[in-house]
Amino acid sequence: MNADHKLDAKGLACPMPIVRTKKAMANLQEGEILQITTTDKGSMADIPAWCKSTGNEYLSGSEDGNVQTHYVKRTERKKVAPAGDVKSISNEELEAKMKTGPVILLDVREPEEYAGGHIPGAHSVPLAQVEQYIAAIPASEPVYVLCKSGMRSQMACDNLMVNGRSNIIRVAPGMSEWNGPITSELLATAGMK
């Protein structure tokens, strides 16, 4: 596929491939195509989800060994979820809420990241699968959403809000700075409700 512009994001970890993509896309004209090359395995879910949340068109993605290549077409900006509608709390605020009773917590990182260590009781719902689990996510009680740095959790929250959920609370910065308890025990997502 031919690209009008290229972005080399190899060696960068989440959230930097998305941050760099966002910055590069801001300089493109409508209809131009950006080729993004990265070594962040999570980009296979993150970049398509970012495109969906921003209204840009995700054309294709492929993996060759440890390198992922994405093609994104700049489209007219669409506002998917009104800015500021997603409530956010800090890691420390989440930890305090967890001490007062159980909370519903969605970890939207990739399965490998989740398996490597997560907050006890957190349900693994990778960003690319959030829409598939909407029916299982409670609609009335608070649902806390986190990822590694806050970028994917913001995209997940935007997606949930667009799909009618107003009880979503983003946890930032997320696992990159989490100082509370961590477990590697896997928790099934099914039956979350």
What residues are annotated to the active site?
14
Task: Specify whether the CB–CB gap between 187 and 123 falls below 8 A.
Answer: yes
Residue in the block written with tokens 């997560």 = 118
Helices (H), 42-193: 43-54, 91-100, 111-115, 151-162
Task: Specify whether the CB–CB gap between 157 and 168 falls below 8 A.
Answer: yes
The 33-38 sheet, strands edge to edge: 5-9, 33-38, 67-73, 57-64
